Structure 1
Amino acid sequence: MTLLGLDVGTAACKGLLLDPGEGITGTARRDYPLSFPAPGRVELDPGLVWDAVRDVVGELAARAGAAGRPVRALTFSVSCDEAVAVDAEGRALGPCIMALDTRSSAEAERFERTVGRRRIYELTGLPVHAMFPLVRLLWLREHEPALFRRTARFLAWHEYLALRLGLEPVGDPSVAARTLAYDIRARAWSDELLAAAGLRASLFARVQPSGTAIGELPAAAAGTLGLGAGVRLVTGGMDQSMAALGSGAIEPGAAMVGTGTWQAVTVVAEAPILTEAMLASGFAFGPHIAPDRYAAMATNASGGSLLRWARDVFAPGEPYERLLPDRFERPTDLLVLPHFEGSVSPWMDPASRGAIVGLDLATGRQELLQAIIEGVTFELRENLERMEAGGLAIRDLRATGGGARSTAWLQLKADATGRPVSTVNIGEPGAFAAACLAGVGAGVFASVAEPIARFVRTTATYEPRPPMAAAYGERFARYRRLYPALSGLDRPTRRGRAGAAPPGPTPGR
């Protein structure tokens, strides 16, 4: 018997097979393209996502069947902040508006004025932004009224996929909490916010705890996917919290930093801390996948994307492993403000742009690449220190994503933040967490903590080197003055706020 976990992101569907006794036995992946139909608009065809899910499940089901261990249950980890409009027959009414899309900024601002920035944060744990599904519905009502009238449900990816599989579209608290319509303390759709928006609760899916069995796949759907009879679909969760869970972050104080295209940090908390200081820094709170826990989230709109930019400009086609050493031996003399895609947490300034300070004729490619990584890591440190100042305890930091494959970057994270940074043995923590929840819903595991304790192991810990940590401490003090000094001087002249990046988790999307 095997459990199947699926991670549906903005660029790919990744799948993982988990044997409850042996561990991970197989993985698969299918990519799909985003479309950019107009400036500021980013969309994804739900049919492409369904095709990728079908192919990944089919490949892994065939492997499991050939090994004599057929799939018993499956679960999704999903990119949040997005929803698919479907009609009364469950058919998608068009492409999904993706989180990076900025078309509904005006509706977000109006809704914030109507309800109040502070009140929305108290209820939802979210800073208001154009990307959230409630705001997308307001945009559809205003600009696509015919499509809005035909919209029977507005479904997150795992809810839409459940519908495609012939089951009720059931959601979970972690994804519901990213709609701007969910009361994270009451764990229910907010009548107050829905009334203010003029929307009906029936547009959204019923919510059940992560790890709840929704039902068995109908024979036709199972056959389409290459699965046998009796396979259960189980509720999953949002990608950021799922990746944190899959890296072993269950107890309060455990934190995960995922460095993919962007860099995002998730800290497990006992309760949300919805203060003005946390709101000003753009920290989002929502239910964690683990029961009776919350997740605090901060996002840097930079990470691998910025390193890729530098590689493409200064060393086109060069493999990253040839560009970065095994470790950096001294800090650079440069300061990089990594706002090439705007700022999310902690400065909350999507119109901010990047800067490189301290260049001279002796500056080389290697120093510049290191300085970019330093800038991204200083943003991480700023977020961590503001979270702790706001009352969050952070006792350990686990690294995941593409950035966790670079020993130089891992050691620099430890040196520049002054904290130990650990890696784990799970390469796809989101899909792994989904497989663990599938086991909970199938009755294989008593709780999600059971497989996490059984299979997740620390593979390495990078300790801060005292001389480097001291040197980076001095540079960080200078770095903190960089954004205030440049603010107002770096406003974009061509794209304006249309190129702004949204405040949300995109670890490795």
Structure 2
Amino acid sequence: MNYVIGIDIGTSGLKSIVVNKSGEVVDSHSISYKTEHPKSGYSEMDPDVWYEATLDSLRHLLNKFDRQSISGISFSGQMHGLVVIDEDGNSIRPAILWNDTRTSQEVEDIKQAVGLETLLKHTQNTVLEGFTLPKLIWLKNHEPENYNKIHKFMLPKDYVVYKLTGNVHTEPSDAAGTIMYNIKSEAWSLELLNQLNIDSNICPEVIGSHESSGVLTDRIREKLNIDWEINVYQGGADNACGALGSGITDETKQLVSIGTSGVALSIENSPNYENDGNMHYFSHCVPNQKYVMGVTLSAGYSLEWLKQLINTSEDFNVFLKDISQSKIGSNGLMYTPYLLGERTPYNDASIRGSFIGLDANTTQLDMKRSVLEGITYSINESIEIMRNKDIDIKEIVSIGGGAKNEEWLQIQADIFNVPITTRTEEQGPAYGAAMLAAMGEQWFDSFDDMNESWIKYRGKVSPVSSHSESYHKLFNIYKLIYTATQPITKDLTQFK
């Protein structure tokens, strides 16, 4: 039996899975780690933490299987993070992660320097604090001694691939999230880089997501105590891999992924599609495919935050038990998940969250349900934009934490007003990474063939029409809160 390994380099941990030719996950391993927050708004990580966690996972998994039975490895990785190396291949400083918000001034500077129209023309996206480009400009402005050492920049998963193979590459799905990449021409935007006085030579070469970046080096094989070659494939961005691993490779299904952040994603392959900046428009890890995506920054993070306040010792199944005893609308309580600002549709790093409608009868169950509903309302704002762009939302595949609670699945079906499907064996972006390795190993002739063989779904959760009618009214109220609270939360920042 032959196997491949898919590795997801997440924000708070690394997950590795071993998959056989039938698409079955036969083993897995997870490692947790913590990000560093040296200042308010900063989020950093020593990139060698990811590398060492990868080695530890590979040691754990490779020892369990017959010699040479594992032939390929591929990766999924958190998007937008900036990793920089010098000419000797050493990381220059800690990686600046996707949820780092220090770059507000750089975002404004970029908009002033090139203008939104030019950004949309060359990258199909606007610029936001979390993206790679403003991080690079921040480094240039605040740490010129480090900026001047840069030989290449990379994304998180690309650094690990480099450490394993000695080769520096990225691929379209992560390159698109840098906001330096023209996804129409599938190449770095040299015109934009020149306007911002960024040397294009620091950009890594772009190869296909399921193309080989090389093999494990002799040094790595010695560290892993193996004597055979293993191919390493470049992999994809976490959201792209999550979509691939959920069977989202055409327009027939959409994806909702609820982890730390929340994502709504739909394939959009029209050559005439022009993004207006309200949504993200990125390259898929499937060749010649694109997708539109909306993001809620504090999705599962909101639920974790509430759990830490109420009862840190409970697991989520216990924490959400009896949630149905709080009725639709959480007894008049509404929550906005703006703990870290909000991405889609407001692109506002300074807005903060709120509970609206607290009264003396509010219970903990009401608060829990209102957080679930608020997260789902926020994701529904992205769904609404898709519908307004004539994307036909017929069926949504839900993955992540939002797919693990039956009541939350019903809330999603009712608010989105479409059937919700879940995977029979949902392994998140790591599964998409394993699929890329399988394609690299030429186990299948096409991604369609692999989908047909590997992707299986559970039964659907259908919306209840009376619930959807109530939620439609509540959603319209939810959309009023941002405008009403934005000036208030802005004034409150002076007291922090």
**SS of 1:192 mapped into structure 2:** helix
**What is the CA-CA distance between 1:79 and the residue it aligns to?**
0.9
Partner of 1:286: 282
- Asked if the contact 2:165–2:232 (Cα under 8 Å) also holds between the matched residues in 1, the reply is no
Q: Cα gap change, 1:492/1:313 in structure 2, threshold over 3 Å: closer, same or farther?
A: farther
Partner of 1:169: 168
Q: Pairwise mapping of residues 246-285 of structure 1 onto structure 2 (< 5 A)?
A: 246-271=245-270, 278-279=276-277, 281=278, 283-285=279-281
Partner of 2:315: 319
**Relative contact order higher in (CA < 8 Å, ≥ 6 apart):** 1
**SS of 2:469 mapped into structure 1:** helix
**What is the CA-CA distance between 1:274 and the residue it aligns to?**
6.0
Instruction: Tell me the alpha carbon deviations over residues 145-194 of structure 1, each in whole angstroms, 9 at most, x when there is no partner.
Output: 22112111111123222221233212110111111111110000111111
The TM-score normalised by the length of structure 2 is 0.94
RMSD between superposed Cα atoms in Å: 2.0
Rounded Cα–Cα distance in structure 2 between residues aligned with 1:308 and 1:429: 19
Q: Is 1:297 aligned to residue 293 of structure 2?
A: yes
**What is the CA-CA distance between 1:292 and the residue it aligns to?**
2.0
Q: Is 1:63 aligned to residue 64 of structure 2?
A: yes
- Asked if the contact 1:245–1:429 (Cα under 8 Å) also holds between the matched residues in 2, the reply is no
**What is the CA-CA distance between 1:74 and the residue it aligns to?**
0.7
Rounded Cα–Cα distance in structure 1 between residues aligned with 2:493 and 2:351: 13
Rounded Cα–Cα distance in structure 2 between residues aligned with 1:418 and 1:152: 49
**What is the CA-CA distance between 1:422 and the residue it aligns to?**
0.9
- Asked if the contact 1:121–1:274 (Cα under 8 Å) also holds between the matched residues in 2, the reply is no
What letter is aligned with 2:348?
D
Partner of 2:214: 215
Unaligned runs of 5+ in 1: 500-509
Instruction: Tell me the alpha carbon deviations over residues 439-476 of structure 1, each in whole angstroms, 9 at most, x when there is no partner.
Output: 11122222233332212111131101122122212222
Q: Is 1:453 aligned to residue 449 of structure 2?
A: no
Q: Pairwise mapping of residues 354-365 of structure 1 onto structure 2 (< 5 A)?
A: 354-365=353-364
- Asked if the contact 2:394–2:419 (Cα under 8 Å) also holds between the matched residues in 1, the reply is no
Rounded Cα–Cα distance in structure 1 between residues aligned with 2:443 and 2:166: 22
**What is the CA-CA distance between 1:34 and the residue it aligns to?**
0.8
Q: Cα gap change, 1:354/1:135 in structure 2, threshold over 3 Å: closer, same or farther?
A: closer
Partner of 2:137: 138
**What is the CA-CA distance between 1:84 and the residue it aligns to?**
1.3
**SS of 2:100 mapped into structure 1:** coil
Q: Pairwise mapping of residues 158-237 of structure 1 onto structure 2 (< 5 A)?
A: 158-237=157-236
**What is the CA-CA distance between 1:69 and the residue it aligns to?**
6.2
Pick from 323, 328, 342 the counterpart of residue 324 of structure 2.
328
What letter is aligned with 1:45?
D
- Asked if the contact 2:161–2:234 (Cα under 8 Å) also holds between the matched residues in 1, the reply is no
Q: Is 1:240 aligned to residue 236 of structure 2?
A: no
**SS of 2:422 mapped into structure 1:** strand
Rounded Cα–Cα distance in structure 2 between residues aligned with 1:48 and 1:261: 20
Partner of 1:78: 77
Q: Is 1:15 aligned to residue 9 of structure 2?
A: no
Q: Give the count of matched residue pairs.
A: 492
Q: Cα gap change, 1:22/1:184 in structure 2, threshold over 3 Å: closer, same or farther?
A: closer
- Asked if the contact 2:398–2:421 (Cα under 8 Å) also holds between the matched residues in 1, the reply is yes
Identity %: 25
**What is the CA-CA distance between 1:415 and the residue it aligns to?**
1.2
Partner of 2:303: 307
**SS of 1:463 mapped into structure 2:** coil
Partner of 1:426: 425
Which of structure 1's runs of 4+ aligned residues deviate more than 4 A?
Answer: 272-276
- Asked if the contact 1:217–1:232 (Cα under 8 Å) also holds between the matched residues in 2, the reply is yes
What letter is aligned with 1:311?
K
Rounded Cα–Cα distance in structure 1 between residues aligned with 2:216 and 2:494: 47
The TM-score normalised by the length of structure 1 is 0.92
Q: Cα gap change, 1:18/1:340 in structure 2, threshold over 3 Å: closer, same or farther?
A: same
Partner of 1:102: 101
**What is the CA-CA distance between 1:429 and the residue it aligns to?**
2.6
